Structure 1
Amino acid sequence: MVAVTSAWSPRNRRFPQGPTLSDGTGTRWILKRNCCLTPRQLLCMYAVLCVVSFGVGLGFWASGAHLVLPFAWIEMAGVGFALWIYARHALDRESIVIIGGRVEVEQEVAGRVSRLSFDAAHVRIDQRGGSAGLVELSAAGRRVSVGRHIRAQHRSQLAEELRAALRGSYGQG
């Protein structure tokens, strides 16, 4: 099964071609973080930054300023730690699929994937914290919150699209 993988866009208010699966059997939302660099690009940028910083530190070391190089190491260790945390979450995403009477929610956070499946007929959609809060799907005593990767003011739009898709009227009217 091949699906439209475009991220939800507030400018389009819906997916560019509607969030339907290409075989027409269901609906899918893929919500991703807005990251400008992939982890690989981030690693390359960090390597260049280290070369420049250590080059400057070595230049000062050769000039007799011996404390610059240790501080360059400390600085690059701190920057490396911050970039490592950023890279762990750069590929975070949420996927919501409504297909065949089921609602499948998959969330990836820092490389850990969790999946929940609900019977579409019993799913309830709420918003915690008002119209800017996360969208919560619940059924049979289980619940999951989605919408972390879209702006708060657009979460109510996501909730309405989910409700419409569950009613089977997505894209009509």
Structure 2
Amino acid sequence: MSPVDLSNRISGQLDGTGWVWHLKRNISIAPSHLAYIFMGLGTVSLLIGFGFYSVGASLVLPFCLVEIAALLTAYFYNAIHANDYEKLTLDGNVITIESKVGFKAHQVQLVRSLTRVDTLSHLNEMVHLRQGVKNTYFGKFVHANLRPLLAQKISERLRLI
């Protein structure tokens, strides 16, 4: 990730009507490319398993099938979480926090003037946005060392009118 991209993620971007912080999971490979790699690994594993099975070592093949099942499980887990994100939108007097993790989508709206921003050291410096008894966390997809800076930038934008 380039320093400019990192700076935009932490500082937020002006999106016409308000400020937006869009944080995404850092994935190094697309699910389609990962599928090709896992298919290649599965094919090699099956070839090895059938090779040992043909020379009389019949117990190698079931372990190859277990390995392929583990590869499939890892692939589907990765594919489900490849599009996870968090988005904080500051538009007028409304703060909207959206998050998607796996198949679960969650949205919270807070009033700008009543919202306080903290970092919680016992939760690895997660950004804590609270409004009375209503609270939520933000910054899951930013490194823990950068979360206090993220909280500071969000807090600065909340104070500006």
Q: 1:160 aligns with which of 128, 152, 160?
A: 152
Residue in structure 1 matched with residue 112 of structure 2 by the alignment: 120
Tell me if structure 2 keeps the 8 A contact 1:132–1:154.
no
Whether 1:102 aligns to 2:94 is: yes
Q: Distance between the aligned counterparts of 2:157 and 2:124, measured in 1?
A: 21
The alignment of Structure 1 onto Structure 2 pairs a total of residues equal to 159
Q: Distance between the aligned counterparts of 2:148 and 2:36, measured in 1?
A: 38
Q: 1:79 aligns with which of 71, 96, 117?
A: 71
* Greater fraction of residues in helix: 2
Taking every aligned residue pair, what percent have the same amino acid on both sides?
28
RMSD: 2.3
| TM-score (ref. length: structure 1) | 0.82
Residue in structure 1 matched with residue 13 of structure 2 by the alignment: 19
Unmatched tracts of structure 2, length 5 or more:
none
1:10 is displaced (CA, Å) by 8.5
1:102 is displaced (CA, Å) by 0.7
Unmatched tracts of structure 1, length 5 or more:
1-8
Tell me if structure 2 keeps the 8 A contact 1:42–1:83.
yes
Q: Distance between the aligned counterparts of 2:140 and 2:84, measured in 1?
A: 10
1:43 is displaced (CA, Å) by 2.2
| TM-score (ref. length: structure 2) | 0.87
Q: Distance between the aligned counterparts of 2:138 and 2:2, measured in 1?
A: 16
Q: Which amino acid aligns with 2:8?
A: F
Point out 4+ residue stretches in structure 1 off by more than 4 angstroms.
none
Q: 2:85 aligns with which of 93, 97, 101?
A: 93
Q: Which has the higher contact order (CA 8 A, sep 6+)?
A: 2
Going from structure 1 to structure 2, the CA distance change for 1:89 and 1:44 (only over 3 Å counts) comes to same
